[in-house]
Amino acid sequence: MKKFIFALTVLSPSILLGQSPFDGTWKTIYDQSKLSPKPIKFAVSKGIYDAFSTVPKIHVKADGQDQPVSGHPYDTVAVTEVDEHTVQIVYKKDGKTTSEVSDSVSGDGKTLTYKSKFHPPASDQIITTEATMERVGEAPTGANATSGSWRIQTVSGSDNGLLATFKRSSDELAYSTPTGENWTAKLDGKDYPVKGAYSFDAVSLKEIDGQQIEASYKREGKLIEVDKVTVSPDGKKMTAVEISKLTGRVSTIVFEKQ
């Protein structure tokens, strides 16, 4: 679910010895991360679901039935208005569920709780995520109370969605997760295939300096995201500035070596 990048330096003593201080498993630490403050805007009103912040935007019936969409990792969206404070959304690809989302708003309408179950394409495991958001834009008149603009405050998730393991061999970097996402790429700026991923199918790596690297992620040849990652001098933490080329959202994510 998250992307972790490996920093290599040609002149590093550890590299000359055929080892890397970054080999091993890393975990996303959301409590130390800074998520994009850019609001997420959507609405369920008069039987229609609009996801204004999604690229491309989504405009479908909120009738609980699979509605076709294009330009996304999924190809249908089913939106159900459970009650005036709760909405459920199911995303599918080729008829198979990729994720299930529940949005519910507090009684005062100021806090949204987001819960999701993600079904990785290469595993039977389920990744769970929960987030809280604060209202920064009011719901349209007559819309479901979950509607409006929201800013993410906190995020938590199951370990299988937070962990990733790296292993360097010669001039290649190998990446894998507990749910089957994996790739092997050289630091030469060329695209390499990704297996078991949901939102992208290729990755390219470039070394910035001894402690920084840039990773670019693509889907069907289109650039989706660019991550600039810095490894701490003691090798215990990595900080990734994740730049979405679709939405313009920029987040700084912290990872700790396990």
Q: Show me where the domains of the chain are located.
A: 13-35+162-257, 40-159
- Residue 32, pLDDT score: 97
Is pLDDT at 126 greater than 70 in this prediction?
A: yes
- Chosen CATH of 13-35+162-257 out of 1.10.10.1110, 2.160.10.10, 2.60.120.10, 2.40.128.20: 2.40.128.20
- Residue 19, pLDDT score: 52
Decide if 49 contacts 169 (C-beta within 8 A).
Answer: no
pLDDT band with cut points at 50, 70 and 90 for residue 235 = confident
Question: What does the block give as tokens for 115?
Answer: 């819960």
Does the reported pTM lie above 0.85? yes
The larger pLDDT score, comparing residue 2 to residue 218, is at 218
In the DSSP assignment, the letter for residue 15 is H
- Residue 209, pLDDT score: 81
Give the pLDDT mean for 226-234.
89
Measured distance CA(215)–CA(218) in Å, rounded: 10
pLDDT band with cut points at 50, 70 and 90 for residue 199 = very high
Contacting residues for 215 by C-beta, under 8 A, at least 6 apart: 3, 5, 203, 204, 205, 206, 226, 227, 229
